[in-house]
Structures are given as structure tokens and as C-alpha cells.
Amino acid sequence: MRCHAAAPARFHAVVLHRLRAPPPSLGSFTFESGYADTPSLGDPTAGDLSTGAEKGIAVCPTYEHPLFTMADSSFDDARIAIIGAPYDGTASFLPGARLGPQAIRAASEAVETYSPYLDLDLEDVPFCDRGNLIFEQMTPEGVHQTVRTAVSECLTAGKRTIVLGGEHTVTLGAVEATDKVHKDLVVLQLDAHLDLRDAYLGERLSHATVMRRVREVVGAERLIHLGVRSGERDEFAEAKHVFRYTLGNHLAAMTSIVGGRPVYLTLDIDLLDPGAMPATGTPEPGGPGYRELIECVHHLGTSLQVVGSDLVELNPLAAPARWPSVMAAALVREMILILWLSLKH
């Protein structure tokens, strides 16, 4: 058992790019070790960001633990890469998902590396954390292209990826990159919402339209919606593979549809009932609990070939308590481990 003796995770003011060494430049996109944004007004955890700020230099909140626990492999040695995508530019109800990647990383210090569910340990997995992508003043399309390029870089190097959102919009770029590498890719969406609108609030690419755009990439036959309970009538009428409300009752049917094809798993944290997960921007009552979700994730890992994944829509501002972020970090641990299982088999 590891001893978690690190200092408590909390926000403090830092100048951009001064957390660690200068971020590596990777072609047309850049990573940074902290978090490239300013907090929302009224953020109870941000504190006073004016102290020590230098005129003309952006100041941002960040956590003291910049990387996911045990992500200590070099990029060359890693088989799995975590990519932070701190974006919530199209949030329509409660913004704050841009804080999700760093909240998950900080909370990972409270999570054991060993999974008793899978009898696997992060200590045995070669994985790295690339830090956060920078989306300063980017349009949704720019964010999409940046995520796609970053994921493609990892896939070209033989890695599998986990993208930490951020809002669900970031999924599109990751799916496009993964679909280029893995023929017949099936996208499995675990989500409270269908996200199949053609446009929302004037945007064709947003958290409410992202699965419509994904469907344009992979086709309706290769898009499966699991656990959904919210959407417009037309969205439900158009969706081909929709499994509503629960998870466990549908696993056999879902697995049959997938067959032996590779799977990209996108997990929107609002899949969970708000009583179990209050820290999300668009909560939807009537969802499953954590145990049911974990059992579903393990079924995927042991029964299907999961080749890429993301966890999106954790919003620390929606629930200031830190335990929802710990829950999300524990889910990321399990997602890392099922990717590792897929690689080994």
C-alpha cells in the first residue's frame, strides 16, 4: 500500500508555464504542465489570483500535483498516454469542465494504484501524462483539430490514449484520429445525453452536437449509446443503437453488436446519477451508480478490444467537495488498466 504523504491538492496562483520546465512543442500544438485558462467568476476554490501577477502575463489557477499518479514513464517507453483537454467553450449550463483534467490529476493522489476489481496495478503499466493541451482563444473547430493532432501523434508512436476533458466536444478529434488507425472502429458512448443535435445555440460543433459529428465519421451502425435518458424526440428517432437508462441489462446485446471490432470508449461523467456524481455541468436524474458503471467498464475491458478512450464533463465548480474528482480519478485508473489489458491480449 502506498503512503499518500503529498501536500493536499489546492489551487494557487502561478504564472503560465512556470510550474515545470518549458512545455514541449509538438508540431502544430503545444502541451503545458499546468492549466491554461483563468477561473470563472465566483470560483470558490480559485482564491486570490492577483497576488504576484505580472502586468501583461496571464495568471492561472492550478493544482500542486500536475500529473496523474504513477504516470512516470517517458513518452518513448509508455504504451498509454494521457492527454489533458481543458476546454468548456460551448458549455450551455454550468461552465467549469475546463478544470476537470487538473482536478482528476490532483485527486489521483488519493486513489490506490491497485485495482481489486481487475487485480491489476498501475505500477505495472508503462504510461505517461503529456499534460494539458493549450486552447487559448480557439474556436471549437480549432480545439477539435488540436486534439486530433495530439492523439494522432501518440497513435503514430504506437500508444493508446486517454483524453481527460473538458467538455464532450473534445471527443470528436480523438475519434477521428483513432478511426484512421483502427479499421471498423466502434464508438461506445456512455452518457446521459444523446448529443445528436445537428446544431445547438448556433454551433454545429459543441457538447450537444458532438455525437452527430462522430456519427458522420463512423456511421450510425458503428455508434452505440448506452445509459442515455435525455435528448430531443428527433434524436431518439434517429439513433440506431440506443440502450436507455441502465447499463448491466444491456451489456450482452451491446457486446453482440460490437463483435470483434475495436472500440473507442467515451465516458461522459453525467452518465452517473447526480446523487452519485454532482460535479458535472448538465446533471440528469435517473442514472446508474458508481458500482454499476465500474462493472460495465470491466466488462468492456475483459470482453472487448478497447483501443482508445476519454473521460469528459467533470466540473469541479459544480460541486466544491473533492470526492467527485476522486471518483473520476478512480475511473481513469480503471480505464488505464482496461487499455493495458487490451494491449496485452
* Domain membership flag for residue 23: no
Amino acid at residue number 207: H
Q: Domain of 214?
A: 65-344
The per-residue pLDDT string of the chain (345 residues; one tens digit each, 9 = 90 and over) reads 444 443 333 322 222 222 233 333 333 445 554 333 333 323 333 333 222 223 232 223 344 457 999 999 999 999 999 999 999 988 888 899 999 999 999 999 999 999 999 999 999 999 999 999 999 889 999 999 999 999 999 999 999 999 999 999 999 999 999 999 999 999 999 999 999 999 888 888 888 899 999 999 999 999 999 999 999 899 899 999 999 989 999 999 999 999 999 999 999 999 999 999 999 999 999 999 999 999 999 999 899 999 999 999 999 999 988 999 999 999 999 999 999 999 987
* Domain membership flag for residue 37: no
Q: What is the pLDDT of residue 203?
A: 87
CA 133-160-184 angle, to 5 degrees, is 110
* Domain membership flag for residue 40: no
* Domain membership flag for residue 249: yes
* Domain membership flag for residue 17: no
Q: What is the pLDDT of residue 265?
A: 98
* Domain membership flag for residue 73: yes
Reduced 3-state DSSP string for the chain: CCCCCCCCCCCEEEECCCCCCCCCEECCEEEECCCCCCCCCCCCCCCCCCCCCCCCCCEEEECCCCCCCCCECCCCCCCEEEEEECCCCCCCCCCCHHHHHHHHHHHHHHCCCEECCCCEEHHHCCEEEEEEECCCCCCHHHHHHHHHHHHHHHHHCCCEEEEEECCHHHHHHHHHHHHHHCCCCEEEEECCECCCCCCECCECCCCCCHHHHHHHHHCHHHEEEEEECECCHHHHHHCCEEEECCCHHHHHHHHHHHCCCEEEEEEEHHHCCCCCCCCECCCCCCCCCHHHHHHHHHHHHHHCEEEEEEEECECHHHCCCCHHHHHHHHHHHHHHHHHHHHHHC
- Domain total of the chain: 1
* Domain membership flag for residue 21: no
CATH code (residue 292): 3.40.800.10
* Domain membership flag for residue 42: no
Q: What is the pLDDT of residue 320?
A: 82
Q: What is the pLDDT of residue 234?
A: 93
- The grid coordinates of residue 29 equal 500544438
- The grid coordinates of residue 96 equal 467549469
